[in-house]
Structure 1
Amino acid sequence: MTFLPEDGFPLAEIPGAYAAERGDTVAVRAGTGTLTWTQLHRASNRIAHGLLGEAQVAGRIVTLLLPNSTDLITAVFACYKAGATPQILSPRMKPAELAAILELAAPAAVLTETGKSRIDHPRVLTVAELAAGQPGHDPDAPLAPSWKAPTSGGSTGRPKIILSGRPAVTSGFDTGMWGIEPGQQALVTAPLHHNAPFVTALSTLFLGGTVTLLTRFDAERTLSAIDEHEVSWAYLVPTMMRRITALPAEVRAKYALTSLRSLWHCAEPCPVWLKRQWIDWLGPERVWELYGGTEAEAGCTLRGDEWLDHVGSVGRVTWGEMKLLDAHGAEITAPDVPGEIYMRVTPGSDPTYRYIGAEPTTREGWSSLGDMGRFDADGYLYLLDRRSDMITVGGVNVYPAEVEAALVEHEQVLTAVVIGLPDSDTGNRLHAIVHTPESAGVTTDTIHTFLDGRLSRHKLPKSIELVHDSLRDAAGKVRRSELRAQRLHRPAR
């Protein structure tokens, strides 16, 4: 491979550049489908021509209501070639939430799968409709003003769009952040409507690598894909890591995983016991963690050997700047004192994002995502919780994330959410909603016994509710406010 784009190279020209050099090489795999660079280049050209003929798309958002597939990657590059910003949304998104996001985005068009045009928008089209009869040559369109437009509802359910501050050109920032190297075989296991899977999949392609997308997560299939395609870089979330380790030992032993050089996880806290299992399995030098918001002003990364010296940390600041502020806005400089995390880009750098539908929380040029944390004496960050999720019980502040972390240490607990419910004595009581497999036979007494000795008395949940369905919605989010609203008038258990 001789071509590698320099910073500022137009994303619209990426498929053509690699097609000219090695057009028969596979760029994308998804399910049973594959796309070579030549196929990706020509197909994205046809869709781009279709977009340009259907709507005034240049400079606007195009919403892609598509699952992980070769069509999705083709549509993303078609957007760049048409001068538009791709916005990927989950096809399983609730109608009300989808309508709210479309109102904010005002997309020029919405692309869906065949036969799924339930959207109230004047330009609801399928990839096949757009490509039909269109030419395969490069279209002529301006540079898209932003290369991505992920969405977030946060814990409140109120959507916002996080529009990237970078136009549709390459940058070494994302590839460097994730440790992605030219020509890698990458495995992305999560839907691309989440920011991290989207960024890592696209960054791999920008550097001429091959991306294997899982169309649905399967624990053993993840391992077999690594061996089958000699994957060297992979992305997982802790829930997936847990399901893989739950496979029988003889199943996991079938896969060597010798090609895998780095496995990255983020998006949710990783239980200490689970991270230790993966470090023991793969070796500390292959297990990586990243903490940062979609806004990408600043973030931390951490390799497994560092984590072993700073158990529970998410790493030191590796891009941008961070500091902690107390409730009065004063900076916290002492180690191990909790505060609200504020971030900013390195002075002199361009803004990394702007919101549509929200305003950032800022103090004198620093912004907060609402996370609480502490730095140790070596500068390693430990997350506590969201500012808005803190619960005051009898005058004492409790961070639900600390209680949730203790709960998911139990190997039969898949997810745990701790909320505050009204209490006549203490003002609030801690209520834990615990997702376990029905077949596990876990009881509330089991959980109470497990927590005893792991948490201070004031942090123990007063009530525990066991559920056997996922606490996450179609976007993979835990809607804490919705869970609390549903339980406000239920009796204590």
Structure 2
Amino acid sequence: MHPITHAASRPDHAAIIDAASGKTVTYGEMDAFANRMARWLRARGVTKGTRVALLLENRPLYLQLLWSTQRIGAMLVPISTRLTAPEIGYILEDAECALLLTSAAFADTAKVLADIAPALEMVDVDDAAFQGEIASQSAETIEDPSPGQYMLYSSGTTGQPKGIVPPPPPSEDITAPNPLVGLATMGVGMPADGSMVYLSPAPLYHAAPLGWCSTAHRLGGTVVIMDKFTPEGALAAIEQYGVTDSQWVPTHFVRMLKLPVEERTRYDLSSHQRAIHAAAPCPVPIKQAMIEWWGPIIQEYYAGSEGIGMSLVKSEDWLAKPGTVGRMLYGKAHVCGPDGSELPPGETGLLFFENDKLPTYHNDPGKTAEAMNECGWMTLGDIGHIDEDGFLFLTDRKSHMIISGGVNIYPQEIENLLVAHPQVLDAAVIGAPDPDLGERVVAVVQPMEMEQAGEALEQVLREYLEPQLSRVKMPKAFDFRPELPREANGKLYKRELRDEYAKLAETERA
């Protein structure tokens, strides 16, 4: 299962569609470009294991470049377009990248990077000379193809991003199926006959969009990509392109549900058969509303870029156990207490995963060791519990915990309540420094309309939260903002908010 085989059997079938423009790249065109690009890369010394960085906006070329590196054994390093030049420079140096592929959209960033990493070769894929060089290469299948891999970096929400070095590929056969193909077909139920039309509304540099798009291509499906998510644009794409499968994060659900009813119900979604979501816990009321709207087609999985474990739950099981992220499909989950001992079903603790294939954090054995316990199990830093039926529930991330007056408070519970309120579009709850309590609970809220922000809305939210929260969990302050520092994949950069409040506290003390 590989685009090479589909290019041979169905060269005119659409591999990629740009949702905004309708531009289509066929399997034959994608394969020809991949061979040309692979030859160009090899001529520049890119071989098996060479790290090639990619800083590019969402467009069909992103996936074409992906498949170019993946047939010569290269290690693709996707770079977040949200990062600053110094942050990108850190990743390029840490990953030991030999080449950076970027575009005209990042010309200013490239100028700064030229000073930060003067020895690194940077190529603008929009440059006419580069395009001419690629066109001059042979489109014939390259000799000695080898499976490539991704070297993903964590979001860096609590510090410098960590490079995740994957275990070696299980086979040197580039057409060999991988575990995600098995999950897609046997777990999620995606078709393997090439009939799938898969919508990817998220940035392609993230693990989930990259993994699911490449899986759709392995299955011979058509990938519809959005340059930027908008709720109306996503719903329109489902209707226009007859989307059968899709992948989301809870923030997408919230944005779509906040649309006026007449707007979100005007689209024909009858082609839509499977919608998967992950990346962050989904508030129970939000997911209930989505299932009522779309029907029981929604499936949720829990996993991390480290690839050490994965759970899955379909709508029927989730409705029976609201809030669960399902049973484990890959890896074995363990819940451990502060002393490292394994806890019984129903008790909350730090989640560890037992797996015979574990990654390492690049250039950082300390971070790798910190993620391991004495049993050789690895953690992603999530808190949760497993019930007596083997269903996993997430409470929050360990790094997000607030300690106020000696009491442990998990902000996810408060955030889930806030985003369910009709006047709230987004919310983040953090612990801000407090001279008496150690930390105080602060809710940073993005209202539906900034004009609503103020004391009146704060009082409305307090009255809404009071029957549902104990007093210690009630936010001591509300901070209204037009936007939160959230990644397009749903990840919230709480570190930025915590740093901001820490600096404010230092200023007040001075």
Quote how far apart the aligned CAs of 1:256 are.
2.4
Alignment partner, residue 133 of structure 1: 136
Task: Report what 2:163 is aligned to.
Answer: 161
* Post-superposition CA distance 1:450-491 (Å, at most 9, x none): 211111111111111111123215775322223112112537
**1:344 is aligned with what amino acid?**
E
The aligned counterpart of 1:447 is 461
Matches within 5 A, 1:391-406: 391-406=402-417
Give 2:151's aligned residue: 149
> What TM-score, normalized by structure 1, do the two folds share?
0.90
1:311 Cα shift?
1.3
In structure 2, distance between residues paired with 1:66 and 1:469: 24
Residue 341 of structure 1 corresponds to which residue in structure 2? 351
Distance in 2 separating the partners of 1:141 and 1:465: 58
Partner Cα distance (2:430, 2:259) in 1:
31
Bigger Cα displacement from structure 2, 204-213 vs 47-56: 47-56
Closer, same or farther: CA 476–55 of 1 in aligned 2, 3 Å: farther
SS of alignment partner, residue 374 of structure 1: strand
Alpha-carbon contact 1:263-1:288 (below 8 Å) kept: yes
Cα distance change on mapping 1:440 and 1:278 into 2, 3 Å? farther
Q: Deviations over 1:2-58 (max 9, x none)?
A: xxx2xxxxxxxx333212111111111123221101110111111111111223343
| CA distance in structure 2 between the partners assigned to 1:474 and 1:378 by the alignment | 34
Deviations 1:422-460 (A, max 9, x none): 323322211121222334614222221221111111111
Does the Cα contact within 8 Å between 1:67 and 1:90 map onto a contact in 2? no
Range with bigger deviation, 258-267 or 431-440: 431-440
Match of 2:248 in 1: 236
Identify the range of structure 1 (125-134 vs 456-465) with the bigger mean alpha-carbon deviation: 125-134
Counterpart of 1:338, as a letter, is: T
Contact 1:75 1:127 in 2 (8 A): no
**AA at the equivalent of 1:254:** R
Matched letter for residue 138 of structure 2 = P
> Which residue type is aligned with residue 142 of structure 2?
P
Output one character per residue of 1:88-145: Cα deviation in whole Å (capped at 9) or x when no partner.
Answer: 213342111101110111112111113734333531113351514222222335524x
How many Å separate the matches in 2 of 1:366 and 1:52?
A: 38
1:332 aligns to what SS in structure 2? coil
1:460 paired residue number:
474
Task: Point out the more displaced range, 409-418 or 265-274.
Answer: 409-418
Amino acid paired to 2:198: A
Alignment pair present for 1:46 and 2:44 = no
Is 2:385 the counterpart of 1:385?
A: no
Q: 1:258 to 1:50 in 2, by over 3 A?
A: same
**1:56-455 counterparts in 2 under 5 A?**
56-114=46-104, 116=107, 117-118=110-111, 119-120=113-114, 121=117, 122-127=120-125, 129=130, 131-141=134-144, 143-144=146-147, 146-167=148-169, 169=174, 170-178=176-184, 179=188, 180-182=190-192, 183=194, 184-284=196-296, 286-335=297-346, 337-345=347-355, 349=356, 351-358=357-364, 359-360=367-368, 361-363=371-373, 364-439=375-450, 441-442=452-453, 443-455=457-469
Residues 279 and 490 in structure 2, CA contact (< 8 A), matched pair in contact too: no
Higher mean displacement: 131-140 or 190-199: 131-140
* 412-421 vs 322-331, greater mean Cα deviation: 412-421
> Could you tell me whether the CA contact under 8 Å between 1:414 and 1:436 is conserved in 2?
yes
* Counterpart-to-counterpart distance in 2, 1:56 and 1:253: 49
- Whole-angstrom CA distance in 2 between matches of 1:373 and 1:41: 44
Give the alignment's Cα RMSD to 1 decimal. 2.1
> What amino acid does structure 2 have at the position aligned with 1:181?
P
**Residue 417 of structure 1: CA displacement?**
1.9
Shift of residue 229, structure 1, vs aligned partner: 1.8
SS at match of 1:243: helix
CA change 1:238–1:209 in 2 (3 A) is: same
| Cα distance change of structure 1 residues 468 and 110 upon mapping to structure 2, 3 Å threshold | same
Of 402-411 and 212-221, the range deviating more from structure 2: 402-411
Deviation for aligned residue 1:334:
3.7
CA displacement, residues 399-418 of structure 1 (integer Å, 9 cap, x when unaligned): 12222222222133233222
* 2:203–2:488 contact (8 Å) kept in structure 1: no
Flag the 1:67–1:171 CA change in 2: closer, same or farther, 3 A: same
Between stretches 54-63 and 18-27, larger displacement belongs to 54-63
Distance 1:427 1:93 in 2: 31
Residue 280 of structure 1, CA deviation = 0.7
Is the Cα contact below 8 Å between 2:450 and 2:482 reproduced in 1?
A: no
Q: Identify, as 1 or 2, the structure richer in helix.
A: 2
1:482 match: secondary structure = helix
- The worse-fitting range, judged by mean Cα deviation, of 132-141 and 21-30 is 132-141
Say whether the 8 Å CA contact 2:280–2:490 is kept in structure 1: no
**Offset at 1:291?**
0.9
Q: Name the SS for the 1:369 alignment partner.
A: coil
> 1:53 is aligned with what amino acid?
A
Contact 1:435 1:471 in 2 (8 A): no
- Aligned counterpart, 1:488: 502
Matched residue of 1:465: which SS?
A: strand
User: Retained in 2: the 8 A contact 1:174–1:203?
Assistant: yes
> In 2, are the aligned partners of 1:324 and 1:374 still within 8 Å (CA)?
yes
Q: Does the 8 Å contact 1:42/1:137 carry over to 2?
A: yes
Q: Give the Cα–Cα distance (whole angstroms) in 1 for the partners of residues 478 and 382 of structure 2.
A: 25
**Same amino acid, percent of matched pairs:** 33
Aligned residue for 2:160, secondary structure, equals coil
Deviations 1:238-274 (A, max 9, x none): 1111222222322333322111111111112222221
Alignment check: 8 A CA contact 1:68 1:192 kept: yes
Matched, 1:27 2:15: yes
- d(CA) in 1 for partners of 2:279 and 2:489? 12
2-side partners of 1:476 and 1:257: how far apart?
23
1:11 match: none
Match of 1:86, SS? strand
Between 355-364 and 103-112, report the one with greater CA deviation. 355-364
CA distance in 2, matches of 1:136, 1:378: 53
Partner in structure 2 of residue 8 of structure 1: none
Aligned residue in 2 for 1:9 = none
Query: In 1, are the aligned partners of 2:485 and 2:494 still within 8 Å (CA)?
Result: no
Structure 1 residues 283 and 191, CA, compared in 2 at 3 Å: closer, same or farther? same
